[in-house]
Structure 1
């Protein structure tokens, strides 16, 4: 961290007081953001420095950050923001800094932790308002930083305010904040000097003693532009032809600046002019650094001289040790240097790079080496920095260097080649990755034992093998994944826990993709243990989600629940840095709860993860929240919302390193089939290319079982057709594969579908036998609820048949009948439910209720709404209690009224009591 970036610039000598602008700044206390936006040279920094130094303002704490292009990476930017805030509120942002060390960092998660810290401190320990001033924001404005700033500003506690000084409007939702009255703006029109201020500056500050008409002319020509007035005053010093100069003074901003700076430079002694040009390559100036770049020994003295002459240098600290040029002035100096001495620029950058390296500033050293086109030196410095960058998870910094280096320099470096391959893979550009790993191996073979980052080079063979396994997994090459992962394990030293854990994880994923759940569980469990030994808690907890999926495939949801709950306790104890893992575990537990029939628990877990999912970074597993939400919504009787969630999941899904064992389009197709949309299901089957003649494959198993559901539904719709032809052969092949691989969860599902297929074909006895086997087969039958109930009324009828005739359950010691009874209790009445119709709709002479086949029962969600209708909550209050919109509530209420045959809330409650529903 460069401490001087956090110092408030010293107030300018002779600053013209501007009480009207101070008042506008004061109004910022009533908003979250004060925007000071104007072109270069309008006195934005000077105004804010004067405002901060106002001795009368004792009601605020100010954190200052002077930005420059080196801060344009989000990790660097937010690290400096936290550091700046700590100058005003010591200790704030510890959790945010820890999160910034992750790779890639979850920026909105970082900001959540920072906002929560500020809120807590504002309430407990800081009576004054806190102001964060971001000066020269335009130098870092980008989509990534803008998104984070918008989130940060939207969630600021009321005692915290932000002032942004910029040359151009930032990429922020300014219009929305303007309409809501949450934005104070100071624009170029506000910053322009008034005629009185122009006169005060030219005559009182600059001491030019100009006539009123001359002041008016300059005010008119410059339109109150502060920098132009300052440059004009410098050019007028010592001139005899004042009137003539003012008369010739004309042009737009750019030409004014070029002309006046030229005038200023031409009036400087050669030593001063040379110093100005040669030090223009620097973003920050200090005496020893200037000496190293210019080859002189008067740097400190020259900086003081320039400051006293008001020659566009801005002090960055109170000790007058560090300075910077006015940005506008620096731009012109660099342009002049490029025009006069272009061949000298690389040498100046190289000198600066060596000075920064000798003082331990590696990032600045690399930046100036790149500016000096000394690419081999830049690559060498980057290699030296690799261990620290990797340890601190600063991948963004390394990737920025790699993008700036020429390809040849990267290929000569083994470390940079392998990490560049990793960067391409993370960006989804798989085509050139293999070549990068080949380059790394060739460069490593020629690297000497005394080269940089010796420890990194020692681990490089295992690292390359691990990256190759990752590439193979991303490309769907299961055999290649296994081969490279085993190679990584062979090459990794016993104490290289991270490499061993990563390689073991890829072996487990490869076994899972092949359907060998037993091998996958053993290998992946060992991999998670290695990640624990390596101290990678975030990776360990996130990997537990995958391990839980494997236990579900093995038919052991109880074990999946146990390890997920234990991991969630660890994640919660880890605080803000573990929020991503916590959210992923909540989603996994939601799926487990739903499968076990606990819709309330499933909903609670989804709500716990919602904020991170919606505001956190894009991750490979983000789409799973939407899938889980869709299934819960469907169970609660809201199929439209379910399909909407699945649409969002499909958009968010990104192919990655985890096997796609449950494709989102197939999940959506199952939802269509359950709703009776068989044409939609048929369209999916055509697009997926699924056929009953396919060979059994675990990676296609979910698609095949979805196809089976579609064909069974088509057979029911047309009993005289042959839609289910070939279904039994496919199910037999799938059952054999699942049984051989230990996938008990798949075995139970396949047997259940065999029962439904037999029933659709009219083979009731075989349906009964297969359903008994499916009910009694899973090792944890009480955890398998939605597996059966999701199949709707046909399954309800089969379950009732099992409870009425347990003869075929003899081989299962009555376990199937008991499980069937439990499912009926959870999902449907064990006896025919009363008809939900009005007496007028009954057949003449009818003495009882309609049989069960005519019943249209209330869904789980409709029952929840009905229970709340039997109370004192209003409609909007019920909607909020159920986390649904008021329109969705009206839809549910309408369905309830229709099914109960009533037209009012009071009548619905009364009829429901008569039916025993309340």
Structure 2
């Protein structure tokens, strides 16, 4: 989970129903929707946000056909990570998929964020719709830390993106260059000022003040059309009998006008309401109960409604009028007045706000108000006590955010808090400096009791075991497996025998150490024990994370059925653990289930599960989810022959890779090399192998096993081009050594792939008998568990061997499923694809497939448009002809075709037509 975002920052401010018509600004709005950059620059209170809200309004979006992403910025967004987090979330909410990979990359990126922006640009460049990104109050973040990033975005902006900035000062961006290119629309104070007619409409029609033409003209000239000043003036004029005298005495520059009218507004309010305004100005957002807590009164909700009715610069944040905020100009004035009010204890206001947020379970706001109150002791207490629940929810990102506001001198005296921060850093793969923090933590534990502050006694008792666990994790990252195991054993010895939570982590680390050296059986046992401990401790999100690892291990061991069972059980656990929010890690388990379905040969179910994972959103995934999903989807795209899409997904996955503490035994780059071999780009695959230093006669180690299998595929492809017998001899020797290592380690999943490649290599060497024997070995191991895909992936090369095995040994449902998954025509003597004894994917996955399709094989229904395309695919028309027949673009036809292939589980047009005939489509 990334750092938390503030939901209300994405809400377009609601427009009042009785706005003054300003038709002269319509042209500006239309130009802004097509320009590279629109800058709305004017002093406070000139209606910038109102104009931007008009640009982002549903009618305008519907008229232009463009989605509008809105971000209300504040000073906290000066931090580049927070700024881009809010920007990317805004884009993703309005245009799903337009910022997904950039968000995933941001969650794992360190240092420069250029890669995040590149990912955003790349995604927007292929996004089908246009996006207008509105950044309101940009002057609050116009900082050197962001200027280069924003300039980079503008320089590489895809045509689909239109950037709109509302600001009190011109931003430090290449405005001159954009102006010269005609790519800049500028809206200045002179454009936004009310004309005399608009001022008259505002004062008399909206506010009902019944002013004479001369009085309106006087106010308009004295304010120079400054909307905020007119708004404050209107608030002061309500109920006055001496309107003429008030208007006659009204004068001054901008700041004086604000001060003068703010005083007028405040001073004319009843004392209780004036105090309410000042006291609640410490809040970023307002609700009735929250205001009651801060003001120590009981009329917050009614007061907020009254303020809105009186137009006292308050903005509703939801349709139910439960949450509000003050107008930014107004809250600035209120806060400046608050500091001069000696009768009001500002620290106490923040303290009461902190207590309310704590009670409401909004710990981030509770901590930050406590810091604003100057009560760092309470803030530290809150963090220490809130940490266990956040850890259970995998909320380490929130904890890392608190590290910026709790000073080190406070942390040093609090060993539990120090351990909380260490755990959060390690969970985020931020290992730099953790060793020093552990040394400091041990020193604190050795200090006199009166020098140490502890609020969570239960956690304090765990500290010796936790320190040993942290050191085991550092050792694992450093590659020192002996020290990892030693520290993990110390942690287990120090933990209480019934402290399942503390026992789980060192057991998992032992499992990871075993996995790293290829002892997958021991790793599986250790992780199983860790998952049981975590379930007993109620850490469901961590159980889901363990389950994903267990699925990986089960697949390596060849236990496809166990892998599916584990994933299903984890999903059942996640469902039973909550009735509201989705447990973090649920998306990862859906991806794991999709991988299992893929190995069963069920492309339809695999895509359905991957879509389910994507639909759950970022908050339902662990940090590893972004790259895992892309790798799994790349398999689908590659099987459909969409090599470019598969390669792009793997490129993103490699950039987003976050292995946590797990060994990188299936490098994304190796998978990408495999795709390139299948796509015919052998040169790129060779370059990868050369960069990795891979040669046929290198020592076989488990951590490089997958890469060496990939090398074998490259060598086979090279032999097909060159016919060099030495190449295939080297390949056979490499595969034999890989077979011995896999069998010794019990890695059945690897052994099946080795046997398949050995069949191809022996056949290429002209040894037909040994090739058939290798293929029989592969089939014998694969069939009981239903490993369809591992055979189907190479079905084209194995075609004649499969035919011969079927002729000699007889047909089987398993071979029919292999052919169906490969999109190949069924053998004349073979049975059509069907579920049943061979463990066909469709029969195994029905439990999670939802409503069953009554047609054969439970194929996901094609849409009406897809059926039209399917019928035309059965004709003699080519792609452009089909596009012309349907009056759509060729790319649209290709998209529909890819969806059809995925749903039917095929990878070419001929197979799709054949499958459609079988299903009666």
TM range (shorter): 0.5 to 0.7
- Shift, 1:711, TM fit: 1.1
Deviates more, 1:445-454 or 1:571-580: 571-580
Q: Does 1:741 align with 2:745?
A: yes
For residue 195 of structure 1, what is the aligned residue in structure 2? 200
| CA–CA distance in structure 1, aligned partners of residues 276 and 604 of structure 2 | 72
Q: Does 1:451 align with 2:454?
A: yes
Contact 1:410 1:417 in 2 (8 A): yes
1:879–1:775: structure 2 CA closer, same or farther, 3 Å change rule?
A: farther
Contact 1:21 1:190 in 2 (8 A): no
Instruction: Please show how residues 467-616 of structure 1 align to structure 2 within 5 Å.
Output: 467-473=470-476, 478-571=481-574, 577-578=581-582, 581-612=585-616
Q: Does 1:661 align with 2:665?
A: yes
Q: Does 1:886 align with 2:893?
A: yes
Deviates more, 1:871-880 or 1:409-418: 871-880
Q: Aligned to 1:693, what secondary structure does the other structure show? A: coil
Q: Deviations over 1:519-567 (max 9, x none)?
A: 0111111122122212233432443232122111112212223333444
1:400–1:546: structure 2 CA closer, same or farther, 3 Å change rule?
A: closer
Instruction: Please show how residues 286-305 of structure 1 align to structure 2 within 5 Å.
Output: none
- Shift, 1:751, TM fit: 3.4
Instruction: Please show how residues 38-57 of structure 1 align to structure 2 within 5 Å.
Output: none
Contact 2:393 2:583 in 1 (8 A): no
Contact 1:799 1:821 in 2 (8 A): no
Contact 1:469 1:481 in 2 (8 A): yes
- Shift, 1:494, TM fit: 3.2
For residue 407 of structure 2, what is the aligned residue in structure 1? 406
- Shift, 1:437, TM fit: 3.1
For residue 56 of structure 1, what is the aligned residue in structure 2? none
Stretches of structure 1 lacking an aligned partner (at least 5 in a row): 7-17, 25-36, 47-66, 74-105, 107-135, 144-165, 170-186, 293-298, 317-321, 807-813, 834-860, 895-903
1:878–1:695: structure 2 CA closer, same or farther, 3 Å change rule?
A: farther
1:250–1:22: structure 2 CA closer, same or farther, 3 Å change rule?
A: closer
Q: Deviations over 1:700-736 (max 9, x none)?
A: 1100110011112212321236334643443343333
Deviates more, 1:551-560 or 1:37-46: 37-46
> Alignment partner for residue 760 of structure 1, among 758, 764, 775?
764
For residue 257 of structure 2, what is the aligned residue in structure 1? 256
Q: Aligned to 2:490, what secondary structure does the other structure show? A: helix
Contact 1:620 1:654 in 2 (8 A): yes
For residue 417 of structure 2, what is the aligned residue in structure 1? 416
| CA–CA distance in structure 1, aligned partners of residues 315 and 789 of structure 2 | 69
| CA–CA distance in structure 1, aligned partners of residues 238 and 612 of structure 2 | 67
Q: Does 1:791 align with 2:794?
A: yes
Q: Aligned to 2:515, what secondary structure does the other structure show? A: helix
| CA–CA distance in structure 2, aligned partners of residues 889 and 458 of structure 1 | 60
For residue 694 of structure 1, what is the aligned residue in structure 2? 698
Contact 1:580 1:612 in 2 (8 A): no
| CA–CA distance in structure 2, aligned partners of residues 311 and 891 of structure 1 | 55
Stretches of structure 2 lacking an aligned partner (at least 5 in a row): 1-6, 9-15, 23-40, 51-71, 80-106, 108-134, 143-165, 170-191, 317-322, 830-861, 902-908
Q: Aligned to 2:698, what secondary structure does the other structure show? A: coil
Contact 2:393 2:584 in 1 (8 A): no
Q: Does 1:219 align with 2:220?
A: yes
Q: Does 1:680 align with 2:684?
A: yes
- Shift, 1:891, TM fit: 9.9
Contact 2:755 2:774 in 1 (8 A): yes
Q: Deviations over 1:865-890 (max 9, x none)?
A: 9888569999689999xx99413667
Instruction: Please show how residues 163-202 of structure 1 align to structure 2 within 5 Å.
Output: 194-195=199-200, 198=203
Deviates more, 1:734-743 or 1:705-714: 734-743
Contact 2:601 2:818 in 1 (8 A): no
TM-score if structure 2 supplies the norm length?
0.60
| CA–CA distance in structure 2, aligned partners of residues 427 and 192 of structure 1 | 58
Deviates more, 1:508-517 or 1:276-285: 276-285
Q: Deviations over 1:179-215 (max 9, x none)?
A: xxxxxxxx9869997326536999969xxxx986354
Contact 2:600 2:787 in 1 (8 A): yes
Contact 1:821 1:830 in 2 (8 A): yes
Deviates more, 1:267-276 or 1:382-391: 267-276
Q: Aligned to 1:20, what secondary structure does the other structure show? A: coil
| CA–CA distance in structure 1, aligned partners of residues 789 and 273 of structure 2 | 81
> Alignment partner for residue 627 of structure 1, among 617, 631, 641?
631
For residue 119 of structure 1, what is the aligned residue in structure 2? none
- Shift, 1:601, TM fit: 3.8
Q: Aligned to 1:622, what secondary structure does the other structure show? A: helix
Contact 1:481 1:506 in 2 (8 A): yes
- Shift, 1:270, TM fit: 14
Contact 2:869 2:897 in 1 (8 A): no
| CA–CA distance in structure 2, aligned partners of residues 451 and 656 of structure 1 | 30
- Shift, 1:249, TM fit: 1.4
| CA–CA distance in structure 1, aligned partners of residues 266 and 580 of structure 2 | 54
1:419–1:142: structure 2 CA closer, same or farther, 3 Å change rule?
A: farther
| CA–CA distance in structure 1, aligned partners of residues 292 and 815 of structure 2 | 84
| CA–CA distance in structure 1, aligned partners of residues 261 and 899 of structure 2 | 73
For residue 707 of structure 1, what is the aligned residue in structure 2? 711
1:191–1:478: structure 2 CA closer, same or farther, 3 Å change rule?
A: farther
1:496–1:872: structure 2 CA closer, same or farther, 3 Å change rule?
A: farther
Contact 1:669 1:706 in 2 (8 A): yes
> Alignment partner for residue 750 of structure 1, among 751, 754, 760?
754
| CA–CA distance in structure 2, aligned partners of residues 255 and 270 of structure 1 | 23
1:397–1:798: structure 2 CA closer, same or farther, 3 Å change rule?
A: closer
